[in-house]
Structure 1
Amino acid sequence: MNMQSLSLNGEFIHYQLDGPSHLPLLVFSNSLGTDLRVWDPLLLELTDQFRFLRYDKRGHGLSSCPPAPYTLDHHVDDLIGLLDALELNQVTLCGLSVGGLIAQGVAARRPELVKNLILCDTAHKIGPESGWDSRIDTIRAHGLEYIADAVMERWFAASFREEKAAEVVLWRNMMIRTPVEGYIGTCTAIRNADLTTSSAALTQPTLCIVGDEDGATPPELVRSTAELIPGARFELLANAGHLPCVEQPKALAALIRDFLAEVTEPLSRYEQGMRVRRSVLGNAHVDRAEANKTAFDKPFQTFITEGAWGSVWSRPILSKRDRSLITIALMAALGHEEELAMHIRATANTGATLDEVRETLLHLGVYAGVPASNVAIRIAKETYTGMGIAIDEGKN
């Protein structure tokens, strides 16, 4: 896994961006006392269907931990900064607990960034201020370990705590290893946040979800938020506490898929194909091809866009990197030199590395013959050199 971080608003924010760029993007903002790993069980249910952006909010995980207190605006600024830096907009934003507050804040302040909202176990205002003051004082006096068992009871349903006690220990370890300043700083942000007015004005399609045994943001509190946001849909998840992404990932994934299918207008095969084609070959290449298109070759270009890019390259299971390497091998074996060079250039977008291409062309020599491999290696060397990539920097 490559470590990814950006300097935003004076802090370093750790993030993880995964999945092919042509897939729809889900952006996740996690809860108090957790890091981006809290979404791992859910992502296993959605892999090959979506692209994912997760991050550690300030004071959590591998991100910077400035001294407390924080405001909700600090967290909102960080997520907006991350989306802007990665040039992402019109995303589906999924927030858990305080992550849901952050998501609502981003959607209100920069509505062009957020196409859909998924709010898990959160509300427009969470808990009375006195409760947060008491928690902050207790942590200052005794540390996070002192409250950990009580937090686990709010996080997880009774059956989960009993049947998966060893797993609960790991989530408990995540919580108590959160920097105290980060935990308290975010407690302060939650305590002072009241989004009643701004969330009542949200216009994005919104799904509100809560576990039926959530002891942190009880179902009626989450329901009240769904009733506040115009047109929001409310769903109650059985046998789940505050972290349904951990306890009920299959059920949560099903709700997410159903919601997005309901609110998303499907792309035509041509539109999907053009999106994937651009993500692989790059906008400059596709723009040139489109500019050179004539009435004579337009039917063929449409056929390729719909059939190759809109049907085959758009399928799940194989990643863009996998399909890239397969295509390079086939173009080399068949002697299509121009197409081979084009797809080697496309590795800048597909993620196939120089080392992987080299191994593919070496493998080609066994199964398609040494002459084909020799020509392909020459073309690859010329193409990489033209791309400004040093061909002697790969692994032996």
Structure 2
Amino acid sequence: MSYLDTGGNKEVLVMIHGLGSKRQSWDFQVNELSKHYRLIVPNLRGHSDDKINYNITLQTMAADIIDLLDSLHIKSASFLGLSLGGIVTQELLHSYPRYVKSTILSNTASILPYWIGKYTVDQRMDKLGNMDDEDYEYSATKNCLHGHYPDSYIHKISNMFLDVNRNTYMQAASSPLGINYTNTLIHNSKPMLVIGSIFDKVTPYINTLTTYTLARHAKLKTFYNSGHIPNIEEPNEFNECVLEFLHNIN
């Protein structure tokens, strides 16, 4: 597992990227957040330069992160996950609660009925089959953004944000099908921040409200001028809300 470890000897924050993405998608966070926390920023199994291209499930992705923390002698951490990363974070809370100090769930879902998710995955795969990598990543990035940006900016964000691996994308996209973390959220006693965006076309805001309603001890942060990736469209406000939440629990 490739990862970034920066920030020195401080409280640990693990940052988990989304589907088809990579650790560089957190570049607008790293400089600011590493002033206050030790950041562990991995590439998920089957993503970017990770060499594993089999058995890509929520359980194995979560287990990989726990193995990484064990190798670094980290006994507990806060976790920040966006989109698929937020689902992996919920799997960590479900399966490895003793490692979890707090969670930040950004633009993600806690319940995904199998057939609804399967329809979305099939649409993505059909689109990928009709495009080359660059065009697909451009199209996907544009769909994740809310504002109107020039093509040059969308390409720049796409290069930072996405790195679709055709050999593993289907497995990773299918990994959340059928999830239901209702019991995990209801019984959670640890601090949680739930982040969502009004104009998120990938994970509509109703998913944010569902997670927030189910979760105990949760706080809610809503972004009104961004789409699926508020950490990129509104990085200063995103960083501020993450730091405020973490400072209040430490």
In the alignment, which residue of structure 2 is the partner of 1:157?
Answer: 146
In the alignment, which residue of structure 2 is the partner of 1:83?
Answer: 69
Considering Cα pairs closer than 8 Å and 6+ residues apart, tell me whether 1 or 2 has the greater RCO.
2
1:53 correspondence with 2:51: no
Deviation at 1:131, TM superposition (A): 1.4
Aligned residue identity for 1:19:
G
1:36 correspondence with 2:27: no
Deviation at 1:124, TM superposition (A): 0.5
3-state DSSP class of the match of 1:215?
Answer: coil
In the alignment, which residue of structure 1 is the partner of 2:123?
Answer: 134
3-state DSSP class of the match of 2:244?
Answer: helix
Gaps of 5+ in 2: none
Deviation at 1:209, TM superposition (A): 0.7
Deviation at 1:227, TM superposition (A): 0.9
Deviation at 1:110, TM superposition (A): 1.1
Partners of 1:72 and 1:193 within 8 A in 2:
no
Aligned residue identity for 1:94:
L
Aligned residue identity for 1:230:
R
Aligned residue identity for 1:54:
V
Gaps of 5+ in 1: 1-12, 265-396
Deviation at 1:77, TM superposition (A): 1.4
> Structure 1 residues 146, 184: CA separation in 2 closer, same or farther (over 3 Å shift)?
farther
Partners of 1:117 and 1:206 within 8 A in 2:
yes
1:122 correspondence with 2:111: no
Deviation at 1:33, TM superposition (A): 1.8
Deviation at 1:140, TM superposition (A): 4.3
3-state DSSP class of the match of 1:234?
Answer: strand
Deviation at 1:87, TM superposition (A): 1.6
Aligned residue identity for 2:142:
E
3-state DSSP class of the match of 2:78?
Answer: strand
Paired with 2:219 and 2:87, the residues of 1 have a C-alpha distance of 17
1:255 correspondence with 2:244: no
In the alignment, which residue of structure 2 is the partner of 1:325?
Answer: none
Deviation at 1:210, TM superposition (A): 1.5
Once the two structures are superposed, residues 89-144 of structure 1 have per-residue CA deviations (whole angstroms, 9 ceiling, x without a partner) of 22110001000000110111111101010111111035632111232344346554
Match among 165, 178, 185 for residue 171 of structure 2: 185
CA-based RMSD of the aligned residues comes to: 2.1
Of the structure 1 ranges 138-147 and 103-112, higher mean CA displacement relative to structure 2 is found in 138-147
In the alignment, which residue of structure 2 is the partner of 1:318?
Answer: none
Number of aligned residues: 247
Paired with 1:176 and 1:57, the residues of 2 have a C-alpha distance of 13
Match among 195, 198, 206 for residue 192 of structure 2: 206
Once the two structures are superposed, residues 255-283 of structure 1 have per-residue CA deviations (whole angstroms, 9 ceiling, x without a partner) of 1121122222xxxxxxxxxxxxxxxxxxx
In the alignment, which residue of structure 1 is the partner of 2:209?
Answer: 223
Deviation at 1:152, TM superposition (A): 2.2
Could you say which structure has the higher helix fraction?
A: 1
Aligned residue identity for 2:122:
D
Identity within the alignment, %: 24
> Structure 1 residues 177, 252: CA separation in 2 closer, same or farther (over 3 Å shift)?
closer
* Normalised TM-score (structure 1): 0.58
* Normalised TM-score (structure 2): 0.89
Runs of 4+ displaced beyond 6 Å: none
In the alignment, which residue of structure 2 is the partner of 1:321?
Answer: none
In the alignment, which residue of structure 1 is the partner of 2:2?
Answer: 14
Aligned residue identity for 2:42:
Y
Once the two structures are superposed, residues 221-265 of structure 1 have per-residue CA deviations (whole angstroms, 9 ceiling, x without a partner) of 11111111112111101311111221111101111121122222x
Paired with 1:139 and 1:184, the residues of 2 have a C-alpha distance of 10
Paired with 1:143 and 1:183, the residues of 2 have a C-alpha distance of 14
Paired with 1:227 and 1:136, the residues of 2 have a C-alpha distance of 32
Match among 220, 244, 254 for residue 230 of structure 2: 244
